[in-house]
Amino acid sequence: MDSTEIEATKINSVTTRTIWGALMQTCQFAHFKIPGIQYISMNERLEILKDIKPGVNQWPFFQYWVIGNKGHINRIDATDNETYIDEAKHHGDHAAPFNPIPFVMRPEGSDLTQAERAAYILRKEEVHGDIAYWCYYGKRIPGITDITPTVYITNVKDGVSNTIEYETSTANIYPQQSVIPPDTGLTTSSDTLSVSAPVINSEVDAANKFFEQEYALDLLLHNYAKPVLVWGEGYVMGGGLGLFMAAPFRMVTPYSRLAMPEINIGLYPDVGATRFLADRGAIGLFTGLTGSIMTAAGAYSIGWATHICDAHRDKVLDKLINIDWGHYPAGDFRAIDDTLNSLHRPVGPGPLQNSLDVIQSVCRGVNFEHDYESIIGLRDARSDWLRQASENLQKGSPATAALTWLLWQWGKQIHSWNEVFELETQISDWKIRHADFVEGVRARLVDKDLAPEWSAGTGMSLKGILSSNPPVTNIESWNQLLKQYGVIA
């Protein structure tokens, strides 16, 4: 519950705790709360109003961060004086830190002001080192609203997965540290958690606000006067790729993977992809239609990445920080480029480079039906990567495919980044109301049956797919394109 009163040693409300970092990130992104169930209270863990539980139909908000330590502890072995990681191991169903710790500690007489206290949800008096402190737990996250999701836990054993609805208990609110021999390797748990929520049919304004803020940040980076370097480590996809592509310097590691996989969920490649896919010609069209995952080599070959580096991040930062700017009369961009070039390490070709001829033959960008059927026809290709691309498009949303093809056509025209994000803002408003986005979220994130039932058009032409609900905007050049391809009269 959102507290309304702070007393001397307690907050007079039920306080829920975070469960898992990934779950919190999902909740923060989707703006929803978790259901109120037994053993859900941080009050209980910290023994503050621990017997208070949410009432019937009274849902606690998932709205703050909680931190803890002693998940793993360094210890010194008496026999060899070597440091080892202690036998403390979190499992997927642990619902609290081993040892919650406060965000802020203030000695008596130097407490936070009333306004500052509002940033935290629990306040407790504790003694540390014979000194009394006011300790503040749980830092609030603003903007969380009230959609109720369901939490699931999946256990994988011997390659067989089992998913059930998650239930809290005293076992996971007070997790026990596993005892593992020092010579046994620690691995991550095979338990994973997921969260689902109703699609935001009634939250269109909030969703549009999210897109507006996201696109504003992308546009700011595209137009930023100072050089920006983005380190694209691991998976760089969707909104992350939009941020990545907005920087003039885009570094990946040999193990980075990049994609715009919106075809799978019924959205569309946005965050500037209208332009940066079109800028890559047939390759951009192919990756937009199929959501194919690109290796670092592929990303570098088409200019998505400007550099590949296998050095540790600290080494890269040290070189950048210690650039002798005075030796570069040509400017800061040249100085950074020379420094990154010295760190660049080419890697062997990936599946994209090995498929360029095929991509050029199936993605001509002249006729949507030809391109669609040609990519589907790659189901029997020798390349696993091409067969996966075919499957992605065949199982993906036809409306997303049609929209992606049209946006690629529009993006080939000369448009500023401001114009690109203005169009994408209006297209996103249309797309989040479209039945395919709702169905894609259901199939991928809610029921997870991976069997979406996409909207049935009158045929696999642009007109057949989109004419019953055309993505009309107030941008004349886009509407003219819809007329050109028969989507609107």
Q: Are 172 and 218 in contact (CB under 8 A)?
A: no
**Cα separation of 378 and 385, whole Å?**
10
Q: Please report the pLDDT score of residue 6 as a whole number.
A: 28
Q: Alpha-carbon torsion 357, 349, 273, 443, what sign?
A: positive
In 412-473, which ranges are continuous DSSP H helix?
Answer: 417-431, 435-441, 462-466
Residue with tokens 């990519």: 375
User: Coil, strand or helix: which one is 431?
Assistant: helix
Q: Please report the pLDDT score of residue 55 as a whole number.
A: 53
Q: Are 319 and 374 in contact (CB under 8 A)?
A: no
Domain layout of the chain by residue ranges: 21-196, 204-310+345-484
**Cα separation of 45 and 97, whole Å?**
10
pLDDT tens for each residue of 171-199: 544 445 444 444 433 333 333 334 334 34
Nearest to 258, CA basis, from 214, 303, 223: 303
Q: Are 428 and 437 in contact (CB under 8 A)?
A: no
Partnered with residue 236 across adjacent β-strands are 258
pLDDT tens for each residue of 474-486: 999 999 999 999 9
DSSP 307: E
pLDDT tens for each residue of 278-290: 999 999 999 999 9
Nearest to 175, CA basis, from 276, 264, 68: 68
In 377-414, which ranges are continuous DSSP H helix?
Answer: 384-395, 398-411
Q: Are 466 and 402 in contact (CB under 8 A)?
A: yes
Residues in the chain: 489
Q: Please report the pLDDT score of residue 51 as a whole number.
A: 60
Residue type, 50: K
| Proportion of the chain above pLDDT 70, given as a percent | 67
SS3 breakdown of the chain: % helix, strand, coil, rounded to 5?
40, 15, 45
**Cα separation of 231 and 235, whole Å?**
11
Q: Please report the pLDDT score of residue 438 as a whole number.
A: 83
Query: pLDDT means per 10 residues in the chain (489 residues)?
Result: 29 35 41 40 54 50 61 48 49 53 85 85 82 83 52 58 59 47 38 39 72 93 94 90 96 94 94 97 97 95 96 90 89 93 92 95 96 96 94 96 98 96 96 88 77 88 95 97 96
> Contacts from 324-333 at CB under 8 Å and sequence distance 24+?
332/226, 332/227, 333/227, 333/248
**Cα separation of 300 and 349, whole Å?**
10
In 247-382, which ranges are continuous DSSP H helix?
Answer: 273-276, 281-290, 296-301, 313-321, 332-343, 356-362, 368-376
Whether this prediction's pTM lies above 0.85 is answered by no
**Cα separation of 246 and 183, whole Å?**
46
Residue type, 134: W
Q: Please report the pLDDT score of residue 279 as a whole number.
A: 96
Partnered with residue 286 across adjacent β-strands are none
Would you identify the CATH topology of the domain 204-310+345-484?
2-enoyl-CoA Hydratase; Chain A, domain 1 (3.90.226)
| DSSP track, 18-58 | ---HHHHHHHHHHTB-PPP-TT-BHHHHHTSSTT----TT-
**Cα separation of 261 and 237, whole Å?**
7
Q: Please report the pLDDT score of residue 481 as a whole number.
A: 97
Nearest to 179, CA basis, from 93, 88, 83, 73: 88
Measured in whole angstroms, how far is the alpha carbon of residue 273 from the centre of its chain?
17
**Cα separation of 430 and 44, whole Å?**
45
**Cα separation of 249 and 247, whole Å?**
5
